[in-house]
Amino acid sequence: MLRRLSIIALTAVLAASTTQAATAEGGKPVSHDRPLSRAYGALGANFNQNLDALDYRELRESGTKWVRGFFPMPATDQGDPAGHFAISTITETAGRGYDTILSLKFPYDRASFPEPGSAGMAAELARLDKVLPAVLNKVDILTIGNEPFIESLPAERDQRLNAFYETVARHVIDFRREHCGASCGTALYMGALNRLDLADRRTPAAERWMTFVRETPEIEGVDIHPHVPAQADAQAFLDYILPKMRADQTFLVTEFSLVWLWKQHLQDPIPAEFAQRYGFAADTLVWQVIKAAIDSPFSERQWTDFLTGSPWFMSQSGFLRDQMRLYRGTGRLAVATYGFKQDDLMVTNFGPAKDPWLLNSVFAPYTVQPRANGLSGRGFWLADFKALQKRAGAR
């Protein structure tokens, strides 16, 4: 069933009562009155660009009801976006009764933003006109942007970034009003802000981003991506966004991790007990063990022994629980989604300088042998991920 919720009279610390509507599996999503805001503290599965790796058996095993991925807008030029695997998968998933988030990715890290009113902007808006019919009233949440302050030229992370994304957002809002109506079942968020734990990322452009979010009634809130070197650093994201939002707005956390902490330890020596048990030289480094697991996947027991034997990792073993407690404790969390599955980009050319995203994953198909039933090998985080499904906000 596809579930839709509305939150009425949202306060800063408590999500209020909800209503729910459903359809039979495989049916069309149910339209409903436009939600004021959605704050139910769910934890879902993030696939980023790898929605084609989605396995419904793994979703059921983990208990998740929310699925998130992104669609790169240039892919629109390659054919009908409804046929692209990202959009076809997310809409099929919605049709199966899962709640869904799709982020629209605008990669301008190698080219300048088109100016409003220019031919380049007209071309970008024409792409939107092809994408939006395929997703509106099908996905629950559409996020305008993926990581704008990364997917842009450093010199243009100023008013030019704001002008581009505000033009795109207004176009999406107008299109939704004209073609989906007041009862459209897709909520709009702006996303996503990165590294707000660093003072130099809290720029005038970031301030303007939050002003636009606050002053645009059709925007439900903002997305954040707290990839941080320490758990405590995530608080800076909340301290920044919450005072700048309307009281009825909520936030998404569609990516979060300790990847920058993990990276600090890639050149640490591995635990002596692990080295002795599994035949590694005493001076083997962490990244070399990970590379060995990529080259010849470990048993689930060996991968678990590697991680649980590493003090730098186990000191953060409560990361998922702690972060969800932080986000849910605001009463303003709509949905958080966590890295669900290792992908090929994570393991390509793995070495001591590689960002170790693969240590975040709930399922570990590239470092752990597949199970006899054909499901991916399980990563460290599955038990907590599954347990946290039971403590989501009221639905």
Per-residue pLDDT of the chain (395 residues; tens, 9 = 90+): 333 333 333 333 333 333 333 332 333 333 333 343 566 899 999 999 999 999 999 999 999 999 999 999 999 999 999 999 999 999 999 999 999 999 999 999 999 999 999 999 999 999 999 999 999 999 999 999 999 999 999 999 999 999 999 999 999 999 999 999 989 999 999 999 999 999 999 999 999 999 999 999 999 999 999 999 999 999 999 999 999 999 999 999 999 999 999 999 999 999 999 999 999 999 999 999 999 999 999 999 999 999 999 999 999 999 999 999 999 999 999 999 999 999 999 999 999 999 999 999 999 999 999 999 999 999 999 999 999 997 554 33
Cβ–Cβ < 8 Å for 327, 336: yes
Q: How far apart are CA 217 and CA 173, in angstroms?
A: 10
- The distance between the two most distant Cα atoms of the chain, rounded to a whole number of Å, is 66
**Tell me, what amino acid is at 385?**
F
Q: How far apart are CA 306 and CA 288, in angstroms?
A: 12
Residue 287 token pair: 């990244």
Q: How far apart are CA 363 and CA 46, in angstroms?
A: 12
SS3 of the chain: the string is: CCCECCCCCCCCCCCCCCCCECCCCCCCCCCCCCCCCCCCCEEEEECCCCHHHCCHHHHHHHCCCEEEEEEEHHHHHHCCHHHCHHHHHHHHHHHCCCEEEEEEECCECCCCCCCCCCHHHHHHHHHHHHHHHHHCCCCCEEEECCCCCCCECHHHCCHHHHHHHHHHHHHHHHHHHHHCCCCCCCEEEEEEEECCCCHHHCCHHHHHHHHHHHHCCCEEEEEEECECCCHHHHHHHHHHHHHHCCCCCEEEECCCECHHHHHHCCCCECCHHHHHHHCCCCCCEHHHHHHHHHHCCECHHHHHHHHHCCHHHHCCCCHHHHHHHHHHCCCCEEEEEEECECCHHHHCCCCCCCCCHHHHCCECCCCECCCCCCCCCECCCHHHHHHHHCCCCCC
End-to-end, the C-alpha distance of the chain in Å comes to: 13
Q: How far apart are CA 259 and CA 369, in angstroms?
A: 23
> For the chain, what is the radius of gyration of the CA atoms?
21
Cβ–Cβ < 8 Å for 62, 389: yes
**So what CATH class is 42-259+317-344+381-389?**
alpha beta
| Residue 155: C-alpha distances to residues 92, 146, 151, 192, 234 (Å) | 39, 19, 12, 19, 26
pTM exceeds 0.85, yes or no? yes
φ, ψ for residue 98 (rounded to 5)? -85, 155
Spell out the residues 6+ positions from residue 257 whose beta carbon is closer than 8 angstroms to its own: 227, 228, 338, 339, 357, 360
Structure-token match 């808006």, residue found: 125
Other C-beta atoms within 10 Å of 169: how many?
A: 19
Residue 385 token pair: 């991920």
